[in-house]
């Protein structure tokens, strides 16, 4: 009988140690990761180019800049003379945002022809140093340029960045009431 009691005591102690390990081991591993910077990703980088030096949209040499909602992000693309395919591409991206599509306004800069539904057009009044035909810019609700994309960027990359921006900058709960 004493042998059974000793085995039971060892078994109980092993169970207790296993329980401590279950709770303390993750904290020790996390502390080690933070202390020695092991296994921590360097961070996510946007697919577009960050543009902190560009002036606010209201300071761009454009005529009649308009967006649909006061708190909208703006997706502005510099349209060369013939940009129907590009305009359609950004229209489709806008639709792909689904329930967050109402938080984005599209703005075609330059170009001619009919503007697609849900977009506004603005004409350049003079050439800007940063102007680049085919380039796409993303502006925050305050009109600051956040990201710029080259004409050959993949649409999926822009969509991924926009979804992340909208997720990290949630809509104010009062925004829908204010709009009504």
DSSP SS3 for 122: strand
Mark residue 9 as left, alpha or beta (left: phi above 0; alpha: psi -120 to 50; beta: remaining): alpha
If you compute the radius of gyration of the chain from its CA atoms, what whole number of angstroms results?
27
Find the length of the chain: 180
The confidence score (pLDDT) of residue 36 equals: 82
pLDDT given for residue 64 in this prediction: 77
How far, in Å, CA of 140 to CA of 61, rounded? 18
In terms of Cα–Cα distance, which of 97, 170, 106 is closest to 138?
106
Q: Which residues contact 28 (CB under 8 A, 6 or more apart)?
A: none
* All residues at 6 or more sequence positions from 83 whose CB lies less than 8 Å from its CB, including other chains: 77, 108, 111, 134
Q: What is the pLDDT of residue 5?
A: 67
* pLDDT, tens digit (0-9, with 9 covering 90-100), for 25-84: 888 888 888 888 777 766 666 788 888 889 988 888 888 777 677 788 999 999 877 788
Q: What digits encode the pLDDT tens for the residues 85-115?
A: 888 899 999 999 999 988 999 999 887 778 8
Question: End-to-end CA distance of the chain, in Å?
Answer: 80
pLDDT at position 135: 92
pLDDT at 42: 63
At 116, which helix (H) or strand (E)? none
Provide the whole-model pTM.
0.71
E-state strands within 8-85: 49-50, 62-63, 73-78
Best CA proximity match to 120, nearest among 155, 94, 148: 94
């Amino acid at each position: 009988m004493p042998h059974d009691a000793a085995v039971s005591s060892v078994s109980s102690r092993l169970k207790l140690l296993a329980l401590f390990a279950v709770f303390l081991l993750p904290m020790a591993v996390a502390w080690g990761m933070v202390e020695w910077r092991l296994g921590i990703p360097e961070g996510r980088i946007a697919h577009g180019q960050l543009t902190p030096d560009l002036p606010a949209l209201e300071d761009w040499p454009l005529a009649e800049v308009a967006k649909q909602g006061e708190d909208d992000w703006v997706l502005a693309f510099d349209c060369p003379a013939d940009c129907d395919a590009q305009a359609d591409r950004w229209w489709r991206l806008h639709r792909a945002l689904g329930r967050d599509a109402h938080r984005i306004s599209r703005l075609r800069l330059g170009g001619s022809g009919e503007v697609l539904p849900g977009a506004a057009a603005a004409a350049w009044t003079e050439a800007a140093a940063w102007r680049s035909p085919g380039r796409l810019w993303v502006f925050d609700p305050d009109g600051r340029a956040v990201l710029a994309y080259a004409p050959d960027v993949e649409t999926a990359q822009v969509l991924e960045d926009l979804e992340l921006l909208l997720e990290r900058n949630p809509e104010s709960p009062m925004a829908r009431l204010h709009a009504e």
